[in-house]
Amino acid sequence: MATVLTSVTAAQRLDSRGKPTVQVDVETSDGKFRAIVPSGASKGDYEAVERRDGGKAFGGNGVLEAVQNVKEVIGPALIAKGFDLKAGLKEIDSFMIDLDGSSDKSNLGANAILGVSLACARACAAANGIPLYEFLARETQSRRQDFVLPVPFLNVLNGGVHSGNPMAFQEFMIAPVGAASFAQGIQWAAEVYQELKAIITKTFGKAAIGIGDEGGFAPPISKPHEALDLITEAIKAAGYEGLFKIGIDPASSEFFHDGQYDLGFKSSEPQKLSRAQLTDLYQGLVGKYPIALLEDPFAQDDWDSWSAFNQICKVSNVELVGDDLLATNIRRIEKASQADACNSLLLKVNQIGTVSEAIAAAEKAFKLGWSVFVSHRSGETTDDFIADLTVAIGCGHLKSGAPCRGERVAKYNRLMDIEEELAAKKIASSYAGEAFRYAHANAGS
């Protein structure tokens, strides 16, 4: 007997920055399933388009039009079609894409479409009587024989447009690659985070332990090496020297203007670097600190810099992640492949607007021999969907912010739940650890 949608509704709710976002509820004979859509601050030009209301309410950021589109357009159309949720999500997502009719989901709004896609994924899992991560794994082209728990990359120092300090680089992340399990990795990371708090307090005073959008501290520092020195000191103080790697997301599109990169863009004193000078800065940092990953080190259309730097990363074995460069979009992935511009995809479901397209983007990246790095957004919600998605595709690593703030910790808590559930069911699983970049290739399929 088919399981179909009996109700689709939506409401305007708030994300972690207090901005409106779309909440969707779908109902079937199995119950009610909810999803809440995240939103980014540093958005690339190639992302799917959110529908915002304009006007005075919430500074123009209201989403009542997107909510109305769910209630009056998407929901009734889906119910009329009567999709069997046991058959999976792809036809539902394809139908919504066609219903929107634009190339960037701007007609109905990517926030409207994604909310329905996320909620329907949960309903599909329930219709099949399986956990969400197992359902999403079935939605991939190749069924996995085991599950991989990811290495968490925790953003413990914030800068860029995510904080009010003068630091240009947006994120400095710690990754507990030497842990034996996800739960142990989170424990270690939380301990390093507390050591970092103590060090910042001692160095700059209690006023300096305010946090940015993703829960990382935002002390009054402006130079990348200052952040990295604080992090390495905290790792050592916690007793885990040599067991962590570091990731950096400069989000450089935010400070690229007229062919130069201005590291002083948040202050009154410009610090403009050429492409070559910025490359030299990165190489110096990689040579001095245990940096395993660089995300968006150059602007989204600075193709020559990306391609040249990727050759350097191949030698230094650094994961070069495209975020704004790729926007979780297969066309951009193909262009980057032709230009040999990076070796990893940052996977943000709301950049593309449906779960099925996000999975397809990940599979395209895997076929190219790339890594895939799942990500939250700076304007997050307590929805923990990406935790299940990360396990489902076996990509080996994700970022969800610091071990602080409920909307960040929700993802980490869900991953610990999944790890325990798999162990209790005696289902084969492992922690990605040092081999996080190649977890998908190394696991059975």
Distance CA 148, CA 266 (A): 39
The answer, yes or no, to whether residue 147 has pLDDT greater than 90, is yes
Query: Tokens 């299940």 appear where?
Result: 388
Which ranges constitute the DSSP H helices of 205-243? Answer: 224-238
Catalytic residue among 134, 214, 357, 419: 214
How far lies 227's CA from each of 87, 156, 346, in Å?
49, 10, 23
Helices (H) and strands (E) in the chain, counts: 15, 16
Q: What integer pLDDT is reported at residue 162 of this predicted model? A: 86
Band (pLDDT 50/70/90 cuts) for residue 144 is low
Q: What integer pLDDT is reported at residue 45 of this predicted model? A: 81
Question: How much is the mean pLDDT over the chain?
Answer: 96
In degrees, rounded to 5, the angle at the alpha carbon of residue 45 between the alpha carbons of residues 93 and 275 is 135
How far lies 337's CA from each of 279, 305, 352, 369, 374, in Å?
21, 14, 18, 10, 19
Residue 375 annotated in ligand binding: yes
Question: Beta strand 256-257 with 260-262: parallel, antiparallel or unpaired?
Answer: antiparallel
Tell me the backbone φ, ψ of residue 270, rounded to 5 degrees.
-60, 145
DSSP string, 139-157: HSSS--SSEEEPEEEEEEE
pLDDT, one tens digit per residue, over 395-429 is 999 999 999 999 999 999 999 999 999 999 999 99
Distance CA 291, CA 445 (A): 30
Cα distance from N-terminal residue to C-terminal residue, the chain: 30
Average pLDDT over residues 187-202: 98
pLDDT, one tens digit per residue, over 226-238 is 999 999 999 999 9
Is 386:361 a contact under the CB 8 Å cutoff? no
Is 391:150 a contact under the CB 8 Å cutoff? yes
214 is catalytic: yes
Tokens of 343: 């070796």
Domains of the chain: 5-129 (3.30.390.10), 147-441 (3.20.20.120)
Sign of CA dihedral 407, 412, 416, 421: positive
Residue 305 annotated in ligand binding: no
- Distance from CA of residue 151 to its chain's centroid? 13
Q: How large is the greatest C-alpha to C-alpha distance in the chain, in angstroms?
A: 67
Residue 376 annotated in ligand binding: yes
Q: pTM (2 decimals)?
A: 0.97
Sign of CA dihedral 252, 257, 261, 265: negative
Q: What integer pLDDT is reported at residue 43 of this predicted model? A: 66
Sign of CA dihedral 369, 370, 371, 372: negative
Distance CA 249, CA 295 (A): 5
The answer, yes or no, to whether residue 142 has pLDDT greater than 90, is no
| SS3 state of residue 187 | helix
197 is catalytic: no
The answer, yes or no, to whether residue 176 has pLDDT greater than 90, is yes
Band (pLDDT 50/70/90 cuts) for residue 347 is very high
Tokens of 350: 């709301």
Distance CA 182, CA 180 (A): 7
- Percent of the chain at pLDDT > 90 equals 94
Question: Beta strand 371-375 with 344-347: parallel, antiparallel or unpaired?
Answer: parallel
Q: What integer pLDDT is reported at residue 3 of this predicted model? A: 98
Catalytic residue among 197, 245, 266, 348: 348
Tokens of 407: 């909307």
In degrees, rounded to 5, the angle at the alpha carbon of residue 154 between the alpha carbons of residues 151 and 157 is 155
- 25 sits in which H/E element: strand 20-28
Residue 65 annotated in ligand binding: no
Is 259:304 a contact under the CB 8 Å cutoff? no
The answer, yes or no, to whether residue 143 has pLDDT greater than 70, is no
Residue 117 annotated in ligand binding: no
Tokens of 170: 């947006």
Q: Higher confidence at residue 97 or residue 267?
A: 97
pLDDT, one tens digit per residue, over 73-122 is 999 999 999 999 999 999 999 999 999 999 999 999 999 999 999 999 99
Residue 324 annotated in ligand binding: no
Neighbour tally for 146: CB within 10 Å: 13
pLDDT, one tens digit per residue, over 14-46 is 999 999 999 999 999 999 999 999 998 766 788
Distance CA 416, CA 66 (A): 33
Q: What integer pLDDT is reported at residue 387 of this predicted model? A: 98
Residue 162 annotated in ligand binding: yes
Q: What integer pLDDT is reported at residue 445 of this predicted model? A: 44
Distance CA 74, CA 5 (A): 12
Q: Which residues contact 369 (CB under 8 A, 6 or more apart)?
A: 343, 441
